[in-house]
Structure 1
């Protein structure tokens, strides 16, 4: 399969999706603690090294990247995510692409934005067709 979407663009989507997945919502100190490990000995909220405040800029950039894709490229991106998720096999690519093409662009963008593990699914979808983001965007 030849990609309709530049590999660099797909890799950028994967990168932004990883950034979105790494974000966690800020904890409201007024909320009851679900886990006592979240607080130090004085009952104050402890800082987490993995916590990253939600950055709406990453989500906005991701939505803008997807919005800039042509309809067939957006359908391809959605179909690749479906292949990576296991909804379709590589032998069913034409069917996956046709179904993804039936979505209106806004629905396709919403589905991609709401898809948990989008980065992993796109990465796996690309790998299923022997594409990789390894080395993409790096200067030699």
Structure 2
């Protein structure tokens, strides 16, 4: 981040993220894709998805490519980035306010472990909570998407 960008952040008192906003937006999208899945309900799944009316794609399975992308992205992050995500989730869920960012992140760091990614993956409505927290801190996925158009 350039010095001018840093001073603008400080002037408007927006917390600094150690995770790239693009990554947060990607995780929001993938978490929402995964959240809409349902428990497996096709015990006689055949080898041809067309014969099964393609319903297996909506089922929540560990072998699901959406889960694999989400888990792989989370597992590739460092502890500071995972702490940001946990703190964003807590702010988005209403456990902390925007002004409590430093406290939420410190608490997330204290609770961080090798299972932090599993904690996030097991959080219902993760995509919604992440987006709520992201927005609360003054960020937007629309702005990130606009940069790439």
Normalized against structure 1, the TM-score is what? 0.78
**CA offset digits 1:46-91 (Å, max 9, x no partner):** x798x81335221121111011111101000110000000011111
After the TM superposition, which segments of 4 or more aligned residues of structure 1 sit over 4 Å from their partners? none
How much has 1:110 moved relative to structure 2? 1.5
Unaligned runs of 5+ in 1: 31-46
Return the alpha-carbon distance in structure 2 between the equivalents of residues 26 and 67 of structure 1.
25
Given the alignment, which residue of 29, 41, 52 partners 2:58? 52
Aligned match of 1:26: 40
TM-score w.r.t. length of structure 2: 0.73
Larger mean CA deviation between 96-105 and 113-122 belongs to: 96-105
2:43 and 2:67 map into 1 onto residues whose CA distance is 25
Gaps of 5+ in 2: 1-14, 45-52
Give me the CA root mean square deviation. 2.2
Alpha-carbon distance change, 129 to 22 in structure 1, aligned in 2, over 3 angstroms = same
1:82 aligns with 2:96: no
**What is the total number of aligned residue pairs between the two structures?**
123
